[in-house]
Amino acid sequence: MNQDVLAARRPRTLALGLVDALGERIRDGRLNAGDKLPTEAEVMAEFGVSRTVVREAISKLQAAGMVETRHGIGTFVVGPGDASAFRIEPQQLATLRDVVAVLELRIGVESEAAGLAAQRRTAANLAAMRAALAAFAAAVEEGRDAVAADFQLHSEIARATQNEHFAGLMATLGAQIIPRARLEASGVIDPQRQAYLRRVNAEHESIVDAIAAKDADAARAAMRTHLANSRERRRRAVEAP
């Protein structure tokens, strides 16, 4: 399967399309248990995607039990995985009510993740969070939405728990869980929306500051406030006449 076939699978994200393409090769036997996956560079060249997309796709395949990464060696096929494994499909995020339901799940999971991150984060984790904050701010100031940077920040917080299950769940959910990725048009943003996104990143900064200070209670509260604000905004939209 090449880049033309992958592109034809839109509007699903490129990462989800790549998961489908590689997963299909595993299921139909073109890639068997024990086989080594192509390198990141080879996958990027074949499918015409970025390194970030490849890494997100590999994370999803890992979470589904289809591949495993052996550090310093490569990524190897485990098997076709469990078709019943937890996932949220794009069609399950088609409405405002769907998005509110996922935000309720995220409040529970990510609030605790923020608290654990405050207790366990490393300097490298913190630097990665700061980089995501900077990428978000840069996108907004350039008049662009910041879905990728938003998801990156939440993923870095999950990684900072030092608990692979938090990071694996975020990888399984993917960037589609950022409400703007499903409900709002992409492209150039207007001044009102730009101001809103600045407020969102201020909430992000509060979370990261609490994690940096190793204040677990404050980190949990900041994350809960951030996600609850997003949930309430969507709830009001659902209830609007």
The domain locations on the chain are: 3-77, 90-239
Report pLDDT for 185. 47
Selection from 114, 140, 120, 123 nearest residue 201 by Cα: 140
Report pLDDT for 5. 47
Report pLDDT for 147. 85
Report pLDDT for 224. 97
Q: 143-178: per-residue pLDDT in tens?
A: 887 888 898 899 999 999 999 888 888 877 777 778
Report pLDDT for 90. 60
Residues sharing a CB contact under 8 Å with residue 152, sequence separation 6 or more, in sequence order: 132, 135
Report pLDDT for 176. 72
**Fold classified for 3-77:** Arc Repressor Mutant, subunit A (1.10.10)
Amino acid found at 50: S
Whole-angstrom distance, CA of residue 16 vs CA of residue 147: 15
Overall CATH class of domain 90-239? mainly alpha
Q: 132-141: per-residue pLDDT in tens?
A: 999 999 989 9
Residues in the chain with pLDDT < 70? Answer: 1-13, 81-94, 180-188, 237-241
Selection from 231, 219, 146 nearest residue 188 by Cα: 146
> Phi and psi dihedrals of 67, rounded to 5?
-140, 165
The domains spanning 3-77 and 90-239 adopt the same CATH topology: no
